[in-house]
Structure 1
């Protein structure tokens, strides 16, 4: 199969801004301590998904006596083999978390709209996870661990997984991009004006195929980074749980704290995001899903 340029832009910046506003401008931060706020966010995601998906489900699980929720929208359910596109909707501490990770969740919401009625070669499950952030990060209480394990337990046929982790922050200025190893700037440049496809060594067929098609067809500058899981940041999101269970997975990111200094700070607000570039990232994911 040959790679081709994707169709004209589809993601809508007006809708993106509306979703970001609804998710971030809330009475309380959507963290694990504010269960009511998390549930309101989950309900909003569910309502948007319901307008577009073949089916919508809520995966509930209990942590310390509290019930938390993953929200799942499925498309192309006539297909057996599935692709997972996931993003977490909780935040770390008392902040709005516009880039981390309302941006990824809004990516899911726009993808739901774009995927409605499309002919797909695989089932696509869009999954909004809870409890990605501390104190639950790297524990079995992460929503993504619960979801990935449920796939394994049910012997679901999974082609691969993409984690949308901070996809809205871009800068054209020199030295706006840093790296875990300084010498990488010689290869990737010092401007934070691209989206990164983060893979681990031996990430599998899906991760390679998705990365190749996204890079060749997308309207936004992208760079692929492949390294060992031990490199700081390479597994800092929900894809790590799919790696744990043997699935081919990758992360799509603006590189988080290596670029966005608002990371886990009250300054991580909608106003800091580049909605035009964010829309192009969503278009790239959409076009890639249609080609897989």
Structure 2
């Protein structure tokens, strides 16, 4: 059920970032993503981290838009903003409680809060900038406090007191750190000699997503960066920041297992849905002669159909393989 919930989150995220059609396309892509299908059959931590991380991104995007619409900084702590702050704190803590790698999604609410602050600086007076910064930091600290309290509630075995971590919990973290750094453990021998960044990217292309979805994601990422730079659509920086942090953390590990990147898949498939949507309409956007325009439009539609069909085929082949 939690995996089905992730598909719903992907739809909502696509709708929030782009439009409803992108949401539907992205949700369909997520449903046929091979790694998502595989881990939906296991009662593992990754599926839970993925759901709560995606929810954190979605709520952070909503928080960004709420803050941006607050013309008066005195209204920054509106009822809507407080509700989102509390919700983000809860889902973020659940992501971390599911697995410590959920800490990576913590970059998302930070970016969501800092971006409006940077955009709202309209005075060179240091005192005013400091007051504005204090209010934005207040939101960030509120999320942190709520997240810690919820983590304390949802992960009681990590503590020996109210705020003191249990020695066994710290020992487990140290063990995992040593394994991820290449400790002398038999099962990590298979990772000797791999290329740090190339290996996880290759795994995503051939196994985690398949060529069709992977190409769609690349197109979507390129268009997303273009939207950020050319159209100043800064809200897209929020989900993109999580992908960058997640990929950076996993790729530098000694054992970059493919499942470690699963929490980033809902964001990537959302970008993939955006890429397919834009590719489908690309021919219409070009101001050229009618005959060439029709041919270009058909070509872009055909490419979109191939990417969608490739994703569906890869997912079905995995299920029936």
Higher fraction of helix = 2
Which category describes the TM-score, using the shorter chain as reference length?
under 0.3
Q: Normalization by structure 2: what TM-score?
A: 0.24
Greater share of residues in strand: 1
Q: RCO higher in 1 or 2 (8 Å CA, sep ≥ 6)? A: 2
